[in-house]
Structure 1
Amino acid sequence: MKLDLANKTALVTGATGDLGRVMARTLAKCGANIVIHYNSNEIKAKELQREMSEIGVEALIVKADVTSEKQLNEMKDTIAAQGWHIDIVVANAVIQYEWTTILNQAAADYVSQFESCVMQSVYLAKAFVPAMIERKYGRMIGINTECAMQNFAGQSAYTAGKRGMDGIYRVLAKEVGEHGITVNQIAPGWTISDRDRANNTEHSESYEKTVPLKRRGTDQEIANAVAFLASDMASFITGAYIPVNGGNVMPAI
């Protein structure tokens, strides 16, 4: 059995990042054409576009600040001008910052997380969901985090942004489900990426001992979950927050 995304087009925000580029490759290997979003790393975006061509799908590069409604609308117009429509949106981009305690965290960091988690999700929905409604088909996939359930010391800005994002996705799932659109979230744990492989930092005994599967997950395992939710095999799943972290957090009933 194969996840078949042929004749579908997926937009991946933050596609040049450690997780984003593996998501883009995986969706492409399932047959989807890819819109590669980036904000600053044009070189990596072009490398990824060449990879997509080698895989045998089409790829379009778009640049935008995901915290700007104006720029995301311009991105939508750029995509439309190429005659493309978006079937799958993967909201993966997020602003990075230095974590510290609430008493020491800069107020600007809370704003940046709200903008890149909550408002990015709102802007993407406003930009792409109306056309999905017209076609009676769509997949909205948000990349959340296990931190949204952990609430550990030092995580406050990130957790606040991602918990706000969770609210947007759950409400959106109820608002657009009647149109054949699914809206789901994936919550990675501390994930092994190419950066870890290059730096030989794949393992952390202190973290791994808390995980029931006793290891860190990989970027490919996160991308596999994205591809599944994007496919028709997940056609009756919506409103879900799915941890992909070896059981490190477990939503309760």
Structure 2
Amino acid sequence: MQIDLSDKTVLITGATGNLGRVMARTLASCGANIVLHYNRNEAKAKELAGEIAGMGGRALIVQADITDQTHIQSMKEKIEQELGHVDIVVANAVIQYQWTSVLEQSPDDYKSQFESCVMQSVYLAKAFIPGMITRKNGRFIGINTECAMQNFPTQSAYTAGKRGMDGVYRVLAKEVGEYQITVNQVAPGWTISDADRAINSEDQPGYSQHVPLKRRGTDQEIANAVAFLASDLASYITGAYIPVNGGNVMPAI
């Protein structure tokens, strides 16, 4: 049994980020054509596209502001001209900001999280799910966070955006399930990425001691979960919020 995404086209938003890069390489290794979305980091997008080409894969670079519906529509048109329709959407992009208390957090930060978590997902759905409905097949995957279940101090803007996103995905799963489109979320914990490896900050005992597996997860482990949900192996899973965090948070039934 293996994950085979041959002849599938995957759009990854925020593909130049720490998690996005590993997702792109992983899904390309499964045989998919990869659409690498970026907002500002064109150089990293080109570098990543070169890596995928070196693996024997095909990658298309697209630039867009994922909080602007017209940008997403233009992105869709470019993809269709170059690669055809999108089979799998991975909504990974999010706006970064400095975390602080509710009383000190800027209202603009709440707006940015709503726009990049909720509205990005809505705009992507409006752009790409109608085609999936026509084909009666598709995968729509969002990258959420364990923070949505933790609700710790200083997490409020991020948590608010991701919990709003969660509501959209659960409703969307029910609305489009009859067309054999699955809608799921992967919720990473505090994940080790290249940013940690560059400064040797992988080991965080204060965090890991509370994780049942007693370690932080890796970017590759997140990408593996995304690849599974993108594949036919997950054809009967929809509406799921799947923590990939060593058991640090556990959804209850």
Tell me if TM exceeds 0.5: yes
1:152 aligns with 2:152: yes
Q: CA deviation at 1:51?
A: 0.9
Q: CA deviation at 1:178?
A: 0.3
Alignment of 1:94-109 (within 5 A): 94-109=94-109
- CA distance in 2 between partners of 1:80 and 1:228 (Å): 25
The residue number in structure 2 matching 1:173 is 173
* Residue identity in the other structure for 1:168: V
The residue number in structure 2 matching 1:135 is 135
Q: CA deviation at 1:238?
A: 0.1
- CA distance in 2 between partners of 1:58 and 1:132 (Å): 21
- CA distance in 2 between partners of 1:84 and 1:201 (Å): 41
Q: CA deviation at 1:81?
A: 1.6
User: Per-residue CA shift, 1:161-219, capped at 9, x if unaligned?
Assistant: 00000000000000000001000000000000001001000011110001000000000
C-alpha RMSD of matched pairs (Å):
0.5
- CA distance in 2 between partners of 1:203 and 1:134 (Å): 47
Alignment of 1:197-212 (within 5 A): 197-212=197-212
The residue number in structure 2 matching 1:39 is 39
- CA distance in 2 between partners of 1:218 and 1:58 (Å): 25
* Residue identity in the other structure for 2:44: K
Alignment of 1:223-234 (within 5 A): 223-234=223-234
Alignment of 1:1-253 (within 5 A): 1-253=1-253
Q: How many pairs were matched up? A: 253
- CA distance in 2 between partners of 1:245 and 1:193 (Å): 14
Q: CA deviation at 1:13?
A: 0.2
2:40 is paired with a residue whose SS is: coil
- CA distance in 1 between partners of 2:185 and 2:8 (Å): 20
Provide the identity percentage. 74
* Residue identity in the other structure for 1:114: F
**Structure 1 unmatched runs, 5+:** none
Q: CA deviation at 1:83?
A: 4.3
* Residue identity in the other structure for 1:163: R
- CA distance in 2 between partners of 1:82 and 1:51 (Å): 19
User: Per-residue CA shift, 1:43-77, capped at 9, x if unaligned?
Assistant: 00001111111111211000000000010011011
User: Per-residue CA shift, 1:72-131, capped at 9, x if unaligned?
Assistant: 011011111224110000000000000000000000000000000000000000000000
1:154 is paired with a residue whose SS is: coil
- CA distance in 2 between partners of 1:32 and 1:116 (Å): 25
Q: CA deviation at 1:147?
A: 0.1
- CA distance in 1 between partners of 2:137 and 2:55 (Å): 25
Greater displacement, 84-93 / 49-58: 49-58
1:109 is paired with a residue whose SS is: helix
- CA distance in 2 between partners of 1:239 and 1:39 (Å): 28
* Residue identity in the other structure for 1:224: N
- CA distance in 2 between partners of 1:233 and 1:54 (Å): 27
- CA distance in 2 between partners of 1:127 and 1:56 (Å): 29
* Residue identity in the other structure for 1:135: R
**Structure 2 unmatched runs, 5+:** none
* Residue identity in the other structure for 2:149: M
* Residue identity in the other structure for 1:169: Y
* Residue identity in the other structure for 2:216: R
* Residue identity in the other structure for 1:229: L
Greater displacement, 77-86 / 114-123: 77-86
